[in-house]
Amino acid sequence: MSRIFLPIFLSIFILGSIGVFPIFQEASASTVKICDDETISTGIFKNIKVAEGKSCTITGDAIIEKNLTADGANSVIVDSLTSISIGGNVKIINSLGTIQINNAEINGNVRLLDNFDQDILITNSHIDKNLILKNNSIDESVAFPAFKIYLRDSTINGNVIFNNNTTGDDLILHTNTINGKVVLKNNRVLGNDILLFSNVIDGNIQFVNNFADGEIDLIDNTVSGNTNIKGNDTNQQFYIQHNVIDGTFSMKQQKNENTDFIIAQNEIGRDMKITENIQNNIYLSVNTVQNNILIEKNNSSSLTIVQNDSEGKFVVKKNTVESTFGGSTGIYLLENSSLEKIVVTKNIVETDLLCSGNSPDPTGGKNIVGGSKLEQCSTL
């Protein structure tokens, strides 16, 4: 047997040295399918790479065992009536057309970076790791750009991070299940709204330094962690409504004296902190807070606090309410309750300080009031 084996081995070695082995190397390289202005609707592929300057549509029952990548492509569309399986990661950078991922099962990360000028739509999909959108933008010299970012009806097992994106239409996260944290930071919406609506989020929300030409709305979300909202700006209303937040809710340093800030009908599992905001009107109504409520160092034309319930301390202090912001209506503290105490102290009010129907009666003092101190706050 050994006499037969040795010549065979030597033959294979010799053949490899004169060119047979490179044939096997070429077969390995062919595991990357180059998509060049085409639709792929069937087949099993190790990897798919979209050619530079070209478009690619993946549909039907196509399967990608590992990664989908594009650098400098045009449109990249993953869309099918049946779920498309991608066993690894999706990375799309420097592309110029629409990016759409619909009805996909992705076992790795999705990273969309430095793409330009068209929509990013992620819908009805499952991403097993993280979703990262960073530095995607529009050409701001184009009148009324329609570029938008949608994440809808999807499950992400990792984190969702949107950082430094610029859109001309909406930025929307709607009806998603996110098992990590959500970070929206330094995004700009030039023509419409930022909406977080009906999401279930297992981690924290960080919503920091975003701008919307329209509204900013956080509505009907369920959040297992904390929600930190800081330094955002909107030219219309800012709504925080009907959310269930197990941790602390903090809203700090929103700055636009022409817009209103409405926090209503939220359930907060720990503290609510509303501090250092500059708004036209600030409304807090019918919020239930399992620990303390702190409303401090805000500057507005009115501060209306109605029917909020705290199981800890309820403190309203060092706020400034004046007509600089479009006609002052004062501080109204109406029908709120606390299991510990309600404190109203060191506020500066150009017009009236009115406290009525609160339980227990507010304590405090040292409020500077240009109009009248009324009812429960008459001695404060």
Say if residue 112 is in the same domain as residue 206: no
* Domains: count for the chain: 3
- Pick left, alpha or beta for residue 75 (phi over 0 → left; psi -120 to 50 → alpha; otherwise beta): beta
Q: Which residue has the higher pLDDT, 377 or 4?
A: 377
pLDDT value for 337: 97
Q: For the CA atoms of 110, 116, 117, 120, what is the dihedral angle to 10 degrees?
A: 0
Whether cis (ω within 30° of 0) applies to the bond prior to 360 is yes
Counting residues of the chain whose pLDDT is more than 70, the rounded percentage is: 89
Say if residue 40 is in the same domain as residue 122: yes
Residue 368 pLDDT > 50? yes
- Pick left, alpha or beta for residue 209 (phi over 0 → left; psi -120 to 50 → alpha; otherwise beta): left
Say if residue 324 is in the same domain as residue 358: yes
Say if residue 69 is in the same domain as residue 166: no
Rounded to 5 degrees, what angle do the CA atoms 109, 115, 117 make? Answer: 140
Q: Residue 340: which residues within 8 A CB-CB, separation 6 or more?
A: 310, 312, 313, 314
Rg over alpha carbons for the chain, rounded to the nearest Å, is: 28
Whether 7 is in a domain gets the answer no
Whether 308 is in a domain gets the answer yes
* Residue span of the structural domain in which 43 resides: 31-129
Distance CA 11, CA 16 (A): 8
- Looking at 242, 272, 296, the residue that finishes a domain is 242
Helix (H, G, I), strand (E, B) or coil at 24: helix
Report pLDDT digits (tens) over 207-244: 999 999 999 999 999 999 999 999 999 999 999 999 99
DSSP 8-state assignment for residue 31 = T
Say if residue 124 is in the same domain as residue 207: no
Say if residue 275 is in the same domain as residue 316: yes
Whether 10 is in a domain gets the answer no
Say if residue 274 is in the same domain as residue 371: yes
Say if residue 219 is in the same domain as residue 331: no
Say if residue 368 is in the same domain as residue 294: yes
Q: For the CA atoms of 294, 299, 301, 306, what is the dihedral angle to 10 degrees?
A: 0
- Looking at 208, 242, 276, the residue that finishes a domain is 242
Whether 334 is in a domain gets the answer yes
The average confidence (pLDDT) of the chain is: 90
Whether 232 is in a domain gets the answer yes
DSSP 8-state assignment for residue 193 = -
Say if residue 334 is in the same domain as residue 229: no
Residue 135 pLDDT > 90? yes
What is the spatial order of strands in the sheet that 166-167 belongs to? 166-167, 188-189, 211-212, 233-234
pLDDT value for 48: 98
Whether 135 is in a domain gets the answer no
pLDDT value for 18: 36
Q: Which of 196, 126, 184, 133 is nearest to 157 (CA)?
A: 126
Whether 306 is in a domain gets the answer yes
Report pLDDT digits (tens) over 308-335: 999 999 999 999 998 765 556 799 999 9
Say if residue 289 is in the same domain as residue 334: yes
- Looking at 182, 210, 242, the residue that finishes a domain is 242
**Taking a C-beta distance cutoff of 8 angstroms, is the pair 331, 347 a contact?**
yes
pLDDT value for 279: 85
pLDDT value for 323: 74
Whether 286 is in a domain gets the answer yes
Say if residue 212 is in the same domain as residue 163: yes
Burial of residue 112, with CB atoms counted within 10 A of its CB: 0-12 exposed, 13-18 middle, 19 or more buried: buried
